[in-house]
A = this chain, B = another copy of it.
């Protein structure tokens, strides 16, 4: 009789299902990754250290995550799920869609400010990722889109609204980068977010029927 029963992963795509111990390994790795990242950011996440912290051989680490960037992007997926859950509990209270989106993003931004090193590791990995990580990065993007659409209160957005959301995501990522590298202040990021969110208002014609 097999010692480990199979376990099903929810969101992940056509990955062969993992056994319990494998799932546990995967969690240990992601936990170690986030922990090291929280200390010293991107550079502090050293593959040998991640392997050691998570009690896994280096080769195994690379079997689970084929590169450091893959690992950090997966870490981001993980954190984003948390975040989305948290945000769902307390929906933003703004009047307009653009206010609610800005409020949501600022809330996320404040969460990132609490762990700036972790934010650094995740965001740098995300923007540095090359084609080999596209599927994973895309997943992060879809998750982010979902969060924004949630804040807008939309279920089926128009193409124009999707464009606006895409631009908002661009701004979000890039503004984070400039903040993380010390080239923009927190206040500046706030302004940029509020500025870009006004785009949303352009996609809903004024109420003048």
List residues of A whose CB falls within 8 A of some B CB. Answer: 42, 124, 127-131, 133-134, 137-138, 141, 160, 163-164, 166-167, 169-171, 173-175, 177-178, 181-183, 188, 191-192, 195-196, 198-199, 202
Contacts and interface: CB of A to CB of B under 8 A. Distances in A.
Contacts of A188: 166
Contact of A195 (B128, B141, B199): B199
A181 B131 contact: yes
Contact of A137 (B124, B127, B137, B181): B181
A174 B169 contact: yes
Contacts of A160: 195
Q: Is the interface of A mostly helix, strand, loop or mixed?
A: helix
A163 B110 CA distance: 21
Contact of A127 (B138, B177, B195, B199): B177
Contacts of A169: 174
A195 B174 CA distance: 17
A50 B194 CA distance: 43
A192 B42 CA distance: 29
A96 to B, nearest CB: 14
A13 to B, nearest CB: 16
A183 B138 contact: yes
Contact of A182 (B131, B183, B196): B131
B182 A134 contact: yes
Contact of A163 (B42, B131, B192): B192
11 contacts: A124-B130, A129-B181, A131-B181, A134-B183, A137-B183, A166-B195, A167-B195, A170-B171, A170-B178, A196-B199, A202-B202
